[in-house]
C-alpha cells in the first residue's frame, strides 16, 4: 500500500480506515497484543481479526513478535505489533526565546533532541530556524514523515496560530509555511493539548477512559480526556484555566497576575508568581526553582520562608484539582510541567486543599505527579504528528 509521502520505504502505507485502522491504532497505543486479547479488546471474532490482519502483516504494517507461553500446555501466543522504528516524527516546542526539538519513533519515544536559541521571533526567522533544524535531523534520518509545532497560545484546526503571546504572534498560518519550507506535512497545536494527546496515546493516560492533566510552569494548563476522547473547545481554547478565580484565602488575597487579575491561579501558582513571592519572603531575587530548592534545603530560616510560599502555591493547585474533580470526576489526575515539584514539596497543603474543596460525594482523586523535562513539550508535539500521520489527517 504505497504512500507518496513515504515513497521507497518498505513499511509505507496509505492512511487506513475502518477495522484495519482500529487494529493498528490499538497495537500502536497499547503495545504488542496476542490475537485473542486484541480481538477481545476490539469486540471482534477470531476469524474477523485474522481476515483484517492478514493483509496488514503482508504489507509489513503489523509484525509478529516472539511467542509468549501461557499458563496452559498449548502453543505459545504470537503477539502482533507494529514496527515502531519504520516512521519517525519531529516535534518542536517554541518559547519566547528558545526552540526545543525532538525526533521520535512511532510510539513517541525520543530518539534525538535539539535545543536552539531564538533571538528573532519574527515569523519568517522562526520558520527558517525550524526548517534548518528539520533539515539537520533528516540529514541523518530518512524516516522522518511529519512534524508538529507546539506553542503556548490559541491554535485553530491544527494549521493556524490565532494568538501566541510569548512570541507576539497573531493569525499566523504556520503549518502551511512549514510545509512549504520543509516539504513535510506540518501541523500546530497548543502545547498543553499536545501533551494531553501524548499522555492519551503513549503515557499514563492510555489505560484510562478519563483523566485530567494539569501543568504548572510559566502558565497553568488543563487537558481533559473524557470518554477516551481529548476534550476540545469550540475555539480550540479548552483548558485555559490559568486565570480561573480561586476560592478561600488564596482567592481573597491581593495577589495579582501579570494581567491584573486578583486571586487567579496564575497570581499564585505560575513561575512568575512563585519567584516573586519567594524573592519577597527570602529577601533576595530568586527563581521559582530556587524557591523549591530552598524549601528542601538545609538552611532552617530559608526553608521555613520558602515552604510557606510553596504551600500557598500548593493550596492553589489543590483548589484547581478539586474544581476539575468536582466537574469531571476523572479516573486519575496527572500533574506535570516545569514546576510539578510544587505537588511534592507542598504535598500536605495540596492534600488539605483538595479535601476542603472537593464535593463530599466524589472520592479523593488519584494524583500522579510526573517527572518532567522540558523536552516533554516537544514530545507532545511529536505525538500530534504521529496521530495526524496514523489517521491520515
The Cα–Cα gap between 267 and 255 comes to: 6
Percent of the chain predicted with pLDDT > 90 = 60
The more confident residue out of 106 and 248 is 106
The more confident residue out of 313 and 264 is 313
Strands 211-216 and 220-226 come out as antiparallel
The Cα–Cα gap between 268 and 264 comes to: 7
Contact 153, 162 (CB under 8 A): yes
The Cα–Cα gap between 174 and 172 comes to: 5
The pLDDT score that the predictor gives to residue 5 is 40
Residues 6+ apart with CB under 8 A from 369: 335, 336, 340, 341, 343, 344
Segment 25-33 shows an average pLDDT of 87
Nearest to 276 by CA among 262, 260, 255, 294: 255
Binning pLDDT at 50, 70 and 90, where does residue 62 land?
A: confident
pLDDT digits (tens, 9 = 90+) for 117-158: 999 999 999 999 999 999 999 999 999 999 999 999 899 999
Sheet holding 211-216, edge to edge: 229-230, 220-226, 211-216, 332-336, 367-369
Backbone phi and psi for residue 254, each to the nearest 5 degrees, phi listed first: -90, 5
Mean pLDDT score of the chain, rounded to an integer?
88
Binning pLDDT at 50, 70 and 90, where does residue 224 land?
A: very high
Contact 52, 11 (CB under 8 A): no
pLDDT digits (tens, 9 = 90+) for 357-382: 999 888 888 999 988 989 999 999 99
pLDDT digits (tens, 9 = 90+) for 285-317: 999 999 999 999 999 999 999 999 999 999 999
Sheet holding 160-164, edge to edge: 154-156, 160-164, 169-172
Q: Give the predicted TM-score (pTM) of the model.
A: 0.88
Binning pLDDT at 50, 70 and 90, where does residue 202 land?
A: very high
Amino acid at each position: 500500500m504505497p504512500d507518496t509521502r513515504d515513497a521507497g520505504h518498505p513499511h509505507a502505507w496509505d492512511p487506513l480506515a475502518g477495522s484495519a485502522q482500529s487494529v493498528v491504532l490499538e497495537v500502536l497505543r497499547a503495545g504488542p497484543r496476542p490475537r485473542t486479547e486484541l480481538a477481545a479488546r476490539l469486540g471482534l471474532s477470531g476469524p474477523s481479526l485474522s481476515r483484517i490482519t492478514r493483509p496488514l502483516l503482508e504489507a509489513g504494517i503489523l509484525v509478529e513478535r516472539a511467542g509468549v507461553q501461557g499458563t496452559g500446555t498449548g502453543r505459545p501466543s504470537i503477539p502482533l505489533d507494529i514496527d515502531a522504528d519504520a516512521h519517525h516524527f519531529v516535534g518542536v516546542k517554541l518559547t519566547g526565546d528558545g526552540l526545543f526539538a525532538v525526533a521520535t519513533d512511532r510510539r513517541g519515544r525520543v530518539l534525538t533532541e535539539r535545543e536552539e536559541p531564538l533571538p528573532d521571533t519574527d515569523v519568517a526567522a522562526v520558520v527558517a530556524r525550524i526548517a534548518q533544524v528539520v533539515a539537520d535531523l533528516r540529514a541523518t534520518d530518512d524516516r522522518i514523515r511529519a512534524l508538529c509545532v507546539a506553542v503556548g497560545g490559541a491554535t485553530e484546526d491544527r494549521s493556524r496560530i490565532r494568538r501566541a503571546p510569548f512570541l507576539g504572534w497573531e493569525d499566523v498560518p504556520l503549518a502551511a509555511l512549514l510545509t512549504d519550507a520543509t516539504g513535510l506535512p506540518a501541523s500546530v497545536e497548543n502545547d498543553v493539548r499536545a501533551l494531553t494527546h501524548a499522555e492519551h496515546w503513549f503515557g499514563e493516560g492510555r489505560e484510562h477512559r478519563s483523566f485530567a492533566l494539569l501543568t504548572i510552569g510559566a502558565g497553568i494548563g488543563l487537558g481533559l480526556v473524557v470518554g477516551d476522547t481529548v476534550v476540545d473547545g469550540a475555539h480550540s481554547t479548552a483548558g485555559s484555566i490559568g486565570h480561573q478565580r480561586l476560592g478561600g484565602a488564596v482567592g481573597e488575597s491581593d495577589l495579582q497576575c501579570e494581567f491584573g487579575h486578583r486571586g487567579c491561579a496564575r497570581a499564585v501558582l505560575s513561575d512568575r508568581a512563585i519567584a516573586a513571592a519567594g524573592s519577597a519572603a527570602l529577601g533576595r531575587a530568586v527563581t521559582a526553582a530556587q524557591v523549591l530548592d530552598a524549601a528542601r534545603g538545609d538552611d532552617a530560616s530559608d526553608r521555613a520562608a520558602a515552604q510557606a510560599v510553596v504551600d500557598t502555591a500548593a493550596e492553589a493547585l489543590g483548589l484547581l484539582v478539586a474544581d476539575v474533580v468536582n466537574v469531571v470526576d476523572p479516573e486519575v489526575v496527572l500533574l506535570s510541567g516545569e514546576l510539578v515539584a510544587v505537588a511534592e514539596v507542598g504535598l500536605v497543603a495540596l492534600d488539605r486543599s483538595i479535601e476542603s474543596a472537593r464535593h463530599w460525594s466524589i472520592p479523593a482523586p488519584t494524583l500522579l505527579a510526573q517527572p518532567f523535562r522540558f523536552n516533554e513539550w516537544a514530545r507532545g508535539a511529536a505525538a500530534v504528528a504521529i496521530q495526524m500521520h496514523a489517521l491520515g489527517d
